[in-house]
Amino acid sequence: MLDPKLIQELINRAKAAYEQAYVPYSHYPVGSAALFSSGKIYSGCNVENASYGLTVCAERNAIFQAIARGERELKAIVIAVPSDVFPSPCGACRQVIREFAVDCPVILMNGQGHLRWTSLKVLLPEAFGPEFL
């Protein structure tokens, strides 16, 4: 179980990240904060591009920043949006999360501050991971 202070820090970092989102097309800001086994938290926001395929989701942005700094083991991730509807990671983000965690808590937060807890195994059952190669 995650420490409540750590959960709050993840939430705060994810909220701060969506404030920096670059979303001129969808107008749907998303922020994410990822906790790694080192105890460090990395945050990221979604960054859209006129060539839509080049858009990067908040989850992948946070994880890739961590990987660039030598992290390899994801322990938990928070995904936050300012809207009333809960966010949900896209399929590509679910697979990227799976690359660095067999399972971990995935905490979803809407703009009212309500939390929905799930896990990677729920979001991506029977997932394909690096150990299969």
C-alpha to C-alpha distance for 21 and 28, rounded to whole angstroms:
8
Mean pLDDT across the stretch 66-86? Answer: 98
Average pLDDT, rounded, for the chain:
98
Of 39, 36, 78, the C-alpha closest to 58 is 78
Of 113, 74, 82, the C-alpha closest to 19 is 82
φ/ψ (deg, to 5) at 127:
-70, 150
Of 96, 100, 103, 93, the C-alpha closest to 125 is 103
Of 66, 55, 72, the C-alpha closest to 10 is 66
What pLDDT sits at residue 8? 98
User: Is 4-132 assigned to CATH 3.40.140.10?
Assistant: yes
What pLDDT sits at residue 47? 98
Of 101, 93, 89, the C-alpha closest to 130 is 101
Mean pLDDT across the stretch 8-16? Answer: 98
For the chain, which residues make up each domain, given as ranges? 4-132
Identity (one letter) of the amino acid at 92? A
What pLDDT sits at residue 1? 79
Of 64, 66, 58, the C-alpha closest to 30 is 58
Of 39, 103, 30, the C-alpha closest to 60 is 30
Tokens of residue 65, six digits = 């920043």
Per-residue confidence band for 103, with pLDDT thresholds at 50, 70 and 90: very high
What pLDDT sits at residue 123? 98
- The string of pLDDT tens digits covering residues 28-68 is 999 999 999 999 999 999 999 999 999 999 999 999 999 99
pTM here? 0.96
State the catalytic residues: 59
